[in-house]
Amino acid sequence: MKKNIQTISITSGKGGVGKTTLVSNLSYCLAEQGARVLILDGDLGMANVDIMFGKRARQSIANLIAGEAGLEDVLVELTPRISLIPGGSGVYGLHNLDYVAKTALMDQVSQLEDDFDVMLIDTAPGISDNVLYLNSAAQECVVVVTPDPSSLTDAYALIKVLHKRHFENRFSIVCNLVRDEQEALTVYRRLSDVTSQFLCVSLNLKGYVPLDPTLRKATKLQQLICQAEPRSPSSLAMGSIAKSLCDFKYLYEAKGGLQFFWKQLSGVA
């Protein structure tokens, strides 16, 4: 039986929570664990996943939509097991394609099914339509939060909108920039308490990434901490989170793989 690609969005209610750094390092960890990873950079304002890998994308989905390039042309190979679809300002434009163009895109997407095992979607922060489309189309939605009170408030707002408008009721949580496991649990419980009080949703703590001076240094140097310092606390934590991301079989029946994601995103379905 053909295995569907797992589609996982990495999102947040506010900026500055370390989301892109997390996506880049998680993709590296997943590749090290044997997965073939596809990244969709859906952060329209700060599309910079390629920079974290020392690459520079020359085209994006915008070129695909304009008919200037095919999907294979837009793909950027970051490592032998990791590829990137640069999003730029083109992601939202998928909804404006006519039926013929959307069908042609689905044909191209179907050719990628056998090439990858998992797709990570790096969304912009907030609750814009583009962010909501990306999150609702993915099989799993991972919300990144920090101990900052505004991060918790905005994460709750994002979860609430996805639940009310798109009927999402399962969310994974990653606590970033925490001192230790105890602080991570405290942050998670604060978010869980308020969601259980006002919303009918399920939150699942996938793990946490501790405050780590080596991570901050690597990020400033545009390096992957999991590659530069694989035994650092943050690297080990992200390796653990990467393993936990592969365990959500219950979602396969509700949402399909790569083609389902793109159909939802472009409005074909």
84: domain CATH number? 3.40.50.300
Q: Please report, rounded to a whole number, the percentage of residues in the chain having pLDDT higher than 70.
A: 84
Q: Which of 91-95, 113-117, 188-192, 201-205 has the lowest mean pLDDT?
A: 91-95
Residue 65 is assigned to a structural domain of this protein: yes
Q: Which two three-digit tokens encode residue 235?
A: 């690297």
Q: Is the pLDDT of residue 65 over 80?
A: no
Enclosing domain of residue 109: 6-135+213-258
The count of structural domains within the chain is 1
Residue 208 is assigned to a structural domain of this protein: no
Compute the residue count for the chain.
269
Q: Which of 49-53, 88-92, 110-114, 146-150 has the lowest mean pLDDT?
A: 88-92
Residue 163 is assigned to a structural domain of this protein: no
Residue 269 is assigned to a structural domain of this protein: no
Q: Which of 49-53, 154-158, 166-170, 237-241 has the lowest mean pLDDT?
A: 49-53
Within 8 A by CB and 6+ apart from 212, the residues are 225, 232, 233, 234
pTM for the model = 0.89
Average pLDDT, the chain: 86
Q: Which residue has the tokens 């990570």?
A: 120
Question: Mean of the pLDDT values across residues 227-252?
Answer: 85
Q: Is the dihedral of CA 134, 58, 69, 39 positive or negative?
A: negative
Residue 153 is assigned to a structural domain of this protein: no
Q: Which two three-digit tokens encode residue 231?
A: 């035994």
